[in-house]
A and B are shown apart, each in its own frame.
Chain A
Amino acid sequence: DAKTTQPPSMDCAEGRAANLPCNHSTISGNEYVYWYRQIHSQGPQYIIHGLKNNETNEMASLIITEDRKSSTLILPHATLRDTAVYYCIVGGYQKVTFGTGTKLQVIP
């Protein structure tokens, strides 16, 4: 699986959009990008995934650059419940490693 690089922490004001970046410059042409989040000590929860096109679901939007070397997870209106650690994963099959993710703090 390709390696990913994420900032260790970010803050976001409640109600504003949270934009979480992820670099994955060694991604292969047919590897998906997945995003998960972990709230407090719970098990990680799947958010969204994509291959080439931008994706949106009820939780978030995923923007993948044209060269696929980076992506951004967007939480359009962050709430306090979105405070969590967000993990960007590439590949998602076989030996899946998570890294340390980005700790997002949503501030009232």
Chain B
Amino acid sequence: NAGVTQTPKFQVLKTGQSMTLQCAQDMNHEYMSWYRQDPGMGLRLIHYSVGAGITDQGEVPNGYNVSRSTTEDFPLRLLSAAPSQTSVYFCASSYSGTSLLAKNIQYFGAGTRLSVL
């Protein structure tokens, strides 16, 4: 049981390049989400998904795309990287995104540290 796995751990991009940050979980969780964390700041929600085929925007979605074709995977795509996207990216998953009463404990990956030059 690996939990939430993020790859790569580190990445350096040039402005304008595209890339995909990978996130996979093996806990059969319905809810998955992506956050970014800038130095000295809290986590800001980028996109989230309450199940396969369903995604929605968070607080800071611009410049990022997501899709959820399987329960296990939730990749985050940067179509044209900008220096403002230099950050640490965290993926998280929890049991259910649709129930008020569910104990939705979130499990986080170790993060991807991205630098855009």
A residues with a Cβ closer than 8 A to B are 28, 30-32, 34, 36, 41-46, 49, 85, 87, 91-101
Contact = CB atoms under 8 A, between A and B. Distances in A.
Given A30-B101, A96-B33, A96-B48, A36 B56 contact: no
Contacts of B35: 98
Interface residues of A, dominant DSSP: loop
Given A32-B104, A92-B104, A93-B104, 7 more contacts: A41-B111, A43-B90, A46-B105, A49-B105, A93-B97, A94-B48, A95-B45
A91 B98 CA distance: 11
Contacts of A93: 31, 94, 96-100, 102, 104
B50 interface: yes
B45 A99 contact: no
Interface of B: 4, 31, 33, 35, 41-45, 48, 50, 56, 58-59, 88, 90, 92, 94, 96-111
B23 to A, nearest CB: 11
Contacts of B92: 43-44, 96
A34 B45 contact: no
B56 A31 contact: no
A44 B90 contact: yes
A61 B60 CA distance: 33
A99 B108 contact: no
A46 B95 CA distance: 13
Contacts of A46: 105-107
B104 to A, nearest CB: 4
Contact of A95 (B58, B105, B108): B58
